[in-house]
Amino acid sequence: MAIATQSFAKLMSHPSFWESENVTYYTDGDDPVDMGDDFIGLRETEKALLVGNDSVEFWCPKSAIHDDSEVYAQRGTGRLVLMKWFARKEGLL
């Protein structure tokens, strides 16, 4: 019972995530993150898209591209909107 109480206390102590020994749980991971409106889809595979602009280029899983994004396929241009979990994981925030 003490372990469950400690885990619950951790959950309640931070508004957006809580941690266990091996896993971090984010409650805001599906939130959109607007990366800017100057991106282009450079290359594409079945599951990923290489996106870039004048200053950055990176591979992004298609599952991490938010529905509001204008860039979701090769040669797509415009606003890139990613899922927050991916942007956080890749250090893009």
pTM above 0.85, yes or no: no
Tell me: do 39 and 82 sit in the same domain: yes
Residues 36 and 21 placed together within one structural domain of the fold: no
Range of the domain at 8: 1-27
Pair (15, 49) in one structural domain: no
Instruction: Verify that 84 and 65 share a domain, yes or no.
Output: yes
Residue pLDDT, tens place only, 55-69: 999 999 999 999 999
Task: Note whether 84 and 50 are same-domain residues.
Answer: yes
The rounded distance, in Å, linking the Cα atoms of 33 and 19 is 22
- The segments of the chain whose pLDDT lies below 50 read 1-2, 4, 17-18
Q: Do 60 and 54 meet the contact criterion of CB atoms below 8 Å apart?
A: no
Q: How many domains, the chain?
A: 2
One domain for residues 47 and 73: yes
Distance CA 33, CA 41 (A): 17
* CA–CA dist 32, 11 (Å, integer): 22
Contact 39, 52 (CB under 8 A): yes
